[in-house]
Amino acid sequence: MRKRERDILRVLGIDPGLAIVGFGFIDKQGHRLVPVQFGSIQTEAGTDPAVRLQQIYESALQLIDRYKPDAMAIEKLYFNKNVTTALTVGQARGVLLLAAVQKGLAIAEYTPLQVKQATVGYGQAEKRQVQEMVRMMLRLAEAPKPDDVADALAIAICHAHSAELAQKLNGVLKR
């Protein structure tokens, strides 16, 4: 058992990308959401894409080892008009999912619509609305930067709320 209390769920939220991977660790303590650590993994443009993916993978492993989340929530890949961008994001997602599986984490995937609904209550919310709700929900002085970090925290918040609902439904269904 981890050093945290049993009723605390630590979630790693991930906003995948090749240039910037936003990450955010939050603890769900009862009905409270507490930020633990957040930031970004950044890779340098012009570097071989395989090397960039290795950097993302190794950084993810280090973060998981350091903050010991119970679950990882990651944004689902959705069709993008720019196929090249979608492919590189998909590759980054792949190495991030591999890191999570290797560390034994439960994995959940959420669409941008689900994340917006969970944080703002409206699936068509603008990015700045999501950022402001993340700031308010986590009691932060300012919205995290870059945007990818705020998005990662929103994904973690979405999972924290969804996991609680799933747990309640699972308990009802098992009766």
Residue 151: active-site member: no
Active-site residue, from 5, 132, 147, 148: 148
Active-site residue, from 15, 142, 151, 164: 15
Residue 65: active-site member: no
Active-site residue, from 48, 58, 70, 75: 75
Q: Which residues of 151-169 are buried (b: 16+ CB within 10 A; e: fewer)?
A: bbbbbbbbbbbbbeeeeee
Nearest to 23, CA basis, from 9, 13, 36, 33: 13
**Nearby residues of 99 by Cβ (< 8 Å), 6 or more positions away:** 57, 60, 61, 64
Residue 15: active-site member: yes
Provide the token pair at 133.
């709700």
Q: Does an H or E element contain 8, and which?
A: strand 8-15
Catalytic residues: 15, 75, 148
